[in-house]
Structures are given as C-alpha cells and as structure tokens.
Amino acid sequence: MFDGAAGVPIASPASPVTRGAVISFQPDSAAPRGIAIDRRTLLRGAILTAGALVVTGCHAGTANAEPTLRLAVIGRGEGDARLLFKSAGIRPEGFRLEYSEFQSGQQVVEAFNGGSLDFGGMSEIPPVFAAASNIHSFRQIAVQHGDVNNQVVLVPKGARIRSLADLKGKRVAYVRATTSQYFLIKMLESVGLSWADITPVAVGVSDGAAAFSRGSVDAWAIYGFPIQRAIATEGARILKTALGFLSGNYIVSAHVDALADPARVKIIGEYLTLLRRAYAWAATHQDQWAGIIAEDIGVPVAYVRDQFARRSAVYELRPVTEAAIASQEEVARVFAKAGQVQGKVDVRALWDDRFNPIIEKAL
C-alpha cells in the first residue's frame, strides 16, 4: 500500500520555540527578523481549530465510526474543497472528511503543530517560516499548481496610484508569512524599492478587507475571493497581479503522525485521487463552476468568469519534484535577503515524495 516512505525521514514535532509573532493592524515599520510560533501562538492555533466550522464527519472514537480525515480549508470560492467536491458529486468511500476553516496558511501551520489537523494546503511561504522556527510537525507531500492572477495588489476606486513605483511611502496591507508578503517584496524589488520604502501593515484577511474598505490603507496585497468582492462591491482596481512573481505552486501537507499511521496514509492517498478527479471536473465545467462560486461568495457571476478568463493556469495536483523543492528554496532565499527570516532555511527536509505514484497515475 502506501505506508513505505519513499521520501525524507519523518522527524518528531519540534518543541515550541520562545520567540513570538503577533499579527495586528499596525504599521510594520520595523519588520521582524523572523516569525516564530511560541506557546501562546500554538494555543491560539488550537483555539482557532476548535472554533472553526466543522462541516461533516466526526473523529473516530466510537466502535463503528468510520475513520476521519481532518482537513483545512482556507477561504471560500475556488479554493474551497468542500464546495468543489459537492459540486462535482464526489464523495469518499470508507472514510469521512472533517473540514476546519482558516484565513491563512500560517494558521494551518499552527493547527498542524497543535495536532488538530491531518491534511492541509497552503502556499510555499508558511512552511518557510515554520522551518525557520524549527517546526517539523508536517510534511509537504504534493504540489497544487494553479492560478497566480488571483493574487494581486488592489487599490481603491479613484486612487492616484497607477504603478508599483507609486507605492513608495504608502500604507500597504498584507498577510504576514503568506504569498501576499512574498509577491509584495518581489514587486517592490522589480521597481527598485525595498520593504523600507513603504509602510507595511500586517493584517489578517478580514481585518485587511475592513481596513481597505474604510480607507485606512492605500493598497492591499491579497489573494482569493476578497479580490472579486472588493471589485464588485467597492470598485477596487487591480494594480498588479502576481504573474511573474509567484510560481503557482501551493503546497499539500500532512501531519507527521498521520504519515506514521498506515491506515491514514492509505486514506490520504485515496483523498488525493478524489482531489485530482475534482480538479478535472472543474476544468471541464468552468461555466457551471463559476456560477457556483459566484453564489457562494456573493458576487455577480460575471466577475468570477472574468477572473477565470484571466487565470494563468487551472488547478491540478502535481508530484513532488526537484523543481518544486528548488522553487521553495528560492522563496526562503528571498525572505532571508529581505531580513524576514534569519540565515539559510532548510525546506528540503520538509518534503516527502511517497505519494508521487498515486499523483502520477492516470485517472
């Protein structure tokens, strides 16, 4: 079956480190040298998971209960696996899916470290900060490759900002330790600016939306369905997409305890096959999928169709490759150069390629 590790050895979860990171709506004029996750942050992660919306399934604790795979969902719309599976008519057989909602990949890392998740997706960025903080509670088992044009810098309706260079001296909101921080750094570099040339404002997704709506920030580096909502409801304008700045690689990860359990390894393999089927359905039912997403996030379907038309790629599941590892190593290098993490960060140790045969198998 799938219980033989073809990838890196599995390490035990690291002890919590003592440096903390607080994400709040404050100018980030003195950007931290690194984001670590301390005991308070881990507790917050556990609370986030406990309070998250559980959609279906239950933990296998009774005599006849089916085994449960605990999964993370970040945001709504196109990235919501619950919605995708329901729309495609895909259901697991022999196991249940239990979903918890998070606003960012950093929260997924916190939940992994708290032991409350088996499986979750995120961008390349949160694992870099996790590795920098000596957190090894999960392994990266696949690549979810997809659109980067749904990651943008937004400016308000009527803003005089017309180019990336116009961001100099402006208050720019972003979500720390996510793609939005990474592509913002890269965009600034592309026009000869640095992190010190703007007033970075680290906020969560919901707080960022509120700050952008009330005019507390001049621009917003953001991803996913808030883009369509801000355009549809507030007349926001896309200043720049992340095309050319992001790889399009989003990381599929599993907890080390799940990977040490042959039964859960088998379930994860089966789930990956279901996920591939779901992506194939979405690619061949784009109009139907656009209408479902529009209803889910509360915007006219025309906005979702426009976003689909601008996509750099449709979503697909890819195996672990040297190119994928090298891409994340480049992300770590950029953050180190920008002073956001300390020294060289080893992300290679986080990868596990045991599921490659399942991902490469024809459907």
CATH topology match: 26-147+248-360 vs 151-241 = yes
> Domain boundaries in the chain?
26-147+248-360, 151-241
Share of the chain above pLDDT 90, in %: 75
The CATH code of domain 151-241 reads 3.40.190.10
Q: What is the pLDDT of residues 321-333, one digit of tens each?
A: 999 999 999 999 9
d(CA 88, CA 289): 9
Q: What is the pLDDT of residues 16-64, one digit of tens each?
A: 222 222 223 334 433 333 333 343 444 444 444 443 433 333 344 444 6
Q: What is the pLDDT of residues 144-178, one digit of tens each?
A: 999 999 999 999 999 999 999 999 999 999 999 99
Instruction: Using DSSP bridges, classify how beta strands 249-255 and 119-123 pair: parallel, antiparallel or unpaired.
Output: antiparallel
Own/partner contacts of 295-298, CB < 8 Å, gap of 24 or more, are 296/76, 296/77, 296/80, 296/83, 297/76, 297/77, 297/225, 297/228, 297/229, 298/229
d(CA 220, CA 201): 9
CATH superfamily of 26-147+248-360: Periplasmic binding protein-like II (3.40.190.10)
CB atoms under 10 Å from CB of 98, counted, come to: 17
Instruction: Using DSSP bridges, classify how beta strands 219-223 and 171-174 pair: parallel, antiparallel or unpaired.
Output: parallel
The predicted structure's pLDDT at residue 75: 83
The predicted structure's pLDDT at residue 20: 27
Task: Indicate the helix (H) or strand (E) that contains 151.
Answer: strand 151-155
d(CA 111, CA 108): 5
Q: What is the pTM of this model?
A: 0.79
Categorize the per-residue pLDDT at 79 as very low, low, confident or very high, splitting at 50, 70 and 90.
confident
DSSP string, 103-150: SSHHHHHHHHHHT--SEEEEESHHHHHHHHTT--SEEEEEEEE--STT
